[in-house]
Structure 1
Amino acid sequence: MADKKDKARRTVAIGLVGSTLDAGLGPRRWEKWRPSVALCAQPELAIDRFELLFQPKFEALASQVATDIGEISPRTEVRSHPIEIEDAWDLEEMYGALYDFARDTRFDAEREDYPLHITTGTHVAQICLFLLCESRHFPARLVQTSPPVRGEESKHGTHRIVDLDLSRYDRIARRFSAERVEARTFLKSGIATRNATFDRMIERIEVVAARSREPMLLMGPTGAGKSMLAKRVYELKKARQSLRGAFVEVNCATLRGEMAHSALFGHVKGAFTGAADKREGLLRRADQGLLFLDEIGELGLDEQAMLLRAIEDKTFLPLGSDREVKSEFQLICGTNRDLRARVSEGKFREDLLARIDLWTFRLPALRERREDIAPNLDYELDAVSARLGTRISMSKEARARFLGFAESPRATWPGNFRDLDAAVMRMATLADGGRIDVAIVDEEIARLEDAWTEKVSAQSAGEVDRVEETLGPERASGIDRFDRVQLEEVLRVCARSRSLSEAGRTLFAESRKTRTTINDADRLRKYLARFELDWDALVKRSG
């Protein structure tokens, strides 16, 4: 019964006319191997019907192929179908045309077998046929024909059914899934995080990193790990061969005035006073690589306009040059600012935000991921061990004491992972024999609570941290407390002064009385330059 049923099934081939392989004129065409004709001459694959697809411009060729199939295999009925395709190398157009044909065809899989011929057509067409077969839009088996080799009697060559055994694809899928899990672990620096929201975000970032070259925006508080994640995305992309160039990182809060333009876009020799040599700029250095612009919200409006053009056109003008420079860089931006609020304030370009806001991910603060503090503590202990060159550990009691505090509402972690990193480094430095005990943990907890209470008190009193506001949180955190107090006063005076000279006179009112040469403006200019600041930038910011 089964044999009779199998014999009753019809074999219906589906394939594209090959504009090159199927071509041939005159009697000598029979001396040439032509795949569509050869398919119907295979002794072990009797074709009852051939659904022959062709572009309208190859109608004459399709007619010739149909005639020749009828001559070599009289039993085969050929049905020709023109499909509207202008560019056979256009993936979207080719897939759409073949998808429409499959959707509009009434298949009878219970009574018919469908070998789908993938030897002819462009590589794009072959890919589309494979995808539509694998997705079962064509309920078919892939078949490939091959020309005869020297010594074979048959001039029609051979055919082979391509195995789409789903069990094999399951094994491949498992390998692919394992690779993706490995990539996500890499993005998390190997830390086995427990926060479900964070894990889902990392999954999305891994997918985007693998499939997209568009800008990515990382949002979140200072110290949440934006810089580290950007570097990990770069390393993942480079490992997957989607990047060849360098990872270039810059904190936009450190860029002011002409120095911002020069640092990002470069300058030519003599572009401004002191420009003794040519500078290529960070965008050029990131060619074929990844540019990470941290604190993008601090970038000046002029530089924002040039950056927008560089993102869209991959070209820009170095300072002082009339010749465009090209750079094929990928971009990740980081910010702890509300960029839409900055747009409303006129401090950030709306069109630039629209361009970098395609893939936006918000990194949660450490206090939002308290369940991840324990694995991150282990990571920091390993990191500090490597930095100090000795193994650092914690006693069981010390670890429990520290985590009891760190995971409680008492720990606000305003500096996020930077606070945690600094705490571990301090405890490790004080640990005799590389073992952190309860006394060291208690001392560190007291230190953290005092520091955080002081910061909260200042904020409650309405005090503005001018240093952090001007330099950005990351750079401000690297300034000694003595210098920070002094810079805070300088910035306060500058904000209330109408000119550089007026600010200088106020700041140096006493010392100028004993000086023979007075140039308060120059003294102030040099002081600001120590922090890569200038008067024009301060005026622009306060305005």
Structure 2
Amino acid sequence: MKKNIVIGFLGTNLDSGKRRRWRPSVQIAQHPDFPIERLELIHASNWTHLAERVAREVERGNPDTEVVLHQIDIADPWDFEEMYGAMYDFAQGYGFDEEREEYHVHLTTGTHVAQICWFLLTEARHIPGKLIQTGPPRGEDEGTGTLQIVDLDLSKYNALQQRFDLVHKEYNTLLKGGINTRNAVFNAMIDRMELVTSNSDAPLLLMGPTGTGKSDLATRLYELKLQRRRIKGRMVHVNCSTLKGERAMSTLFGHRRQAIPGAGADRRGLLQEADGGVLFLDEIDELGLDEQAMILHAVETGKYLPLGADYEVTSRFHLIAGAGRALAGLVAQGKFRADLFARLNLWTFTLPALRDRPEDIAPNIEYELARVEKLMGNSVSFNTDAFTAYQKFATDPGTRWPGNFRDLGASIQRMCTLAPRGRITLAAVQDELKTLESTWHDANADPDMQLLTAHLGDLAHQIDEFDRVQLAAVIRVCQTTPSLSAAGRRLFAASRASKTSRNDADRLRKYLDKFGLDWSQCQS
């Protein structure tokens, strides 16, 4: 059986007996159902006499209890930094033996700051023990008083764990907009995002093609930050693609009246509006290099310089950035600052396209129907055969959904608006599918097919989709490199080390020849 060890401070008032007979450091050793092998008593040098007297009384009343005195002088026992540092040093140098001894931290004595520090050290397992709270006898009873042990191992409390799990589920539901998503990749991303948002104030980068829901997700992240009390201010949404030239600087950072000809007053700027809240820079890849530099400075220091100002102003905000293009590629092209990318890239989340989430089509259709019902004020639903036909089209691997969830939402809204008596029929679905196909064909939204058609004409449509993506990537590399050899070295960099022959140019030439292409054609 493990031996009980109690660690605590000498109570300079209670243990001296000035206020009442009950003395916690003496009487904690008198509980018959809680035998103490050793009492570690911490005291200041000016209280050594009292500590020695308490030790004698404990050992006289309980010969089996050893009292070990520790002299620790703390200039200000109400100074949290000093108190925590001294107690941490004590814990680090103690030498705990958990196999033979069970440790208890006595919370009854010491300042409130000391009690808080005991809790933090024990909860963090710097002290591998439990908390113990004692109290005087109740009423007229003459005895040892009360003793209560608190075990901070929360894993033992199933009810608390279930409550934590419920809160976690509520946060996940918030981030998913209440949609019962089933895609494993997306759900794993939401789980990770919830942890990051709840525990970090660092910038978040949301990547993904247009229509994947970056703006909606940024709004939900803001709401989660509000619920977790990480922010107090509002969310400011900035579409960076609309900011050009001097107007961009003025809009983001504000200006003094004299800096802008014709300006009638000073302007605060959107960074100032976001103070204490969230700044969402949507399409940050469209922002100019000068603006990027000032954004980086503001994120790292909380300060920036408005146009025409002689001194910096302060704005502390959480940054969420959205981008539809790969920022690493833009950095390589000199179109995005490497230092800002490094700052944003700490937490990057890539939202998958709708076509990569076929299992989430049905719950998103339900969500869109409910959203349209709120807009229109009446309920609309599918006939069974109509829903089967629409879902089959929506989940088909060949359905591109170039606008992703925007396309899906617009499609559902069109059918609901035209639905007679609140029912979407098979005929309505067939008409809608023709509309989608026509719209997508006219928009010619597939950049890979555009590129291949430009080089191969109608033959591009005879290439499997699997090969289209690869061939388009190869052509783009050829267009941005100075020679066939340079393109080959870049394309085969990973595999060339294991090849006996490293004629990358010949490998690339043979690959292009499979599709009737050569280097000069790819350069056009």
TM normalised by structure 1 equals: 0.73
Q: Letter of the aligned partner of 2:339 in structure 1? A: D
Measured in 1, the distance between the counterparts of 2:71 and 2:386 equals 77
Q: Encode CA deviations 1:332-355: one digit per residue, 9 max, x unaligned.
A: 111011111111111111111111
Q: Evaluate the alpha carbon distance shift between residue 101 and residue 152 of structure 1 in structure 2; reply closer, same or farther with a 3 A threshold.
A: farther
Is 1:105 aligned with 2:93?
A: no
Cα separation, 2, equivalents of 1:439 and 1:374:
20
Tell me, in whole angstroms, the C-alpha distance in 1 between the residues paired with 2:253 and 2:41.
Answer: 56
2:132 to 109, 123, 143: 143
1:209, CA displacement in angstroms?
Answer: 1.3
1:174-229: per-residue Cα shift (whole Å, max 9, x none)?
Answer: 11101101110111111111101100100011111111111111111111011101
* Mapped partners of 1:174, 1:201: distance in 2: 22
Q: CA separation in 2, counterparts of 1:457 and 1:299?
A: 24
Return the match for 1:217 from 205, 213, 216. Answer: 205
Within 5 Å, which residues of 2 pair with 1:442-481? 442-456=430-444, 459=447, 460-462=449-451
- The residue correspondences of 1:165-244 to structure 2 (distance < 5 A) are 169-244=157-232
57, 60, 64: which one pairs with 1:72? 57
Q: Does the alignment pair 1:14 with 2:2?
A: no
Are 1:286 and 2:271 an aligned pair? no
Q: Is 1:304 paired with 2:292? A: yes
CA deviations 1:491-524 (Å, max 9, x no partner) are: xxxxxxxxxxxxxxxxxxxxxxxxxxxxxxxxxx
Q: 2:123, 2:152 within 8 Å by CA — same for their partners in 1?
A: no
Specify the code of the residue in structure 1 equivalent to 2:56.
E
User: Aligned in 2, Cα 1:62/1:78: closer, same or farther, shift over 3 Å?
Assistant: farther
What secondary structure, in the 3-state scheme, does the structure 2 residue paired with 1:333 have?
A: strand
The change in CA–CA distance for 1:92 and 1:70 in structure 2 (over 3 A counts) is: closer
Deviation at 1:163, TM superposition (A): 5.4
Q: Which shifted more, 267-276 or 216-225? A: 267-276
2:260 is equivalent to residue 272 of structure 1: yes
Alignment of 1:283-432 (within 5 A): 283-432=271-420
Work out the CA distance in 2 between the residues paired with 1:412 and 1:92.
Answer: 59
C-alpha spacing 1:304/1:432, structure 2 compared with 1 (3 Å):
same
The SS at the match of 1:332 is: strand
Please list every run of 5 or more consecutive structure 1 residues that lacks an aligned counterpart in the other structure: 465-543
> Is the CA contact (8 Å cut-off) linking 1:12 and 1:47 kept in structure 2?
yes
Aligned residue among 220, 236, 241 for 1:253: 241
- Once the two structures are overlaid, the 10-residue window that deviates more, 261-270 or 38-47, is 38-47
Q: Note closer, same or farther for the CA distance 1:166–1:356 as it changes in structure 2 (3 Å cut).
A: closer
Aligned equivalents of 1:39 and 1:283: distance in 2? 60
Q: Residues of 1 paired with 2:28 and 2:377: CA distance?
A: 73
Query: 1:137, CA displacement in angstroms?
Result: 6.3
Match of 1:31, SS? Answer: coil
Equivalent residue, structure 1, for 2:119: 127
Shift of 1:106: 2.0
Structure-2 separation of matches of 1:98 and 1:255: 57
SS in structure 2 at match of 1:194: coil
Write the distance in 2 (CA, Å) between the matches of 1:127 and 1:280.
45
Q: Which amino acid aligns with 1:11?
A: N
1:90 shift after superposition: 7.6
Deviation at 1:265?
1.1
Given that 1:66 and 1:78 are in contact with CA atoms closer than 8 Å, whether structure 2 keeps it comes out as no
Matched, 1:118 2:107: yes
Which residue in the other structure is 1:516 paired with? none
Structure 1: distance between partners of 2:300 and 2:24: 45
SS state at 1:250 partner: strand
Instruction: State the TM-score, normalized to the length of structure 2.
Output: 0.75
- Cα deviation 1:426-467 (Å, max 9, x = unaligned): 112222222211111111111211222233388445599xxx
Q: Is the 8 A contact 2:155 2:161 kept in 1?
A: no
Aligned to 2:477: none
Question: Hey, what does 1:526 align to over in structure 2?
Answer: none
**Structure 2 stretches of 5 or more lacking a match?**
454-524
Q: C-alpha distance in 1, partners of 2:433/2:18?
A: 88
1:213 partner SS: coil
In structure 2, what residue type is equivalent to 1:188?
Answer: K
Give the AA of the match of 1:105: F
Q: Distance in 1 between matches of 2:82 and 2:396?
A: 58
Q: Secondary structure at the match of 1:403?
A: helix
Distance 2:187 2:387 in 1: 25
Structure 1 window deviating more from structure 2 (383-392 vs 247-256): it is 383-392
Distance between the aligned counterparts of 2:42 and 2:324, measured in 1? 56
The 3-state SS of whatever aligns with 1:224 is: coil
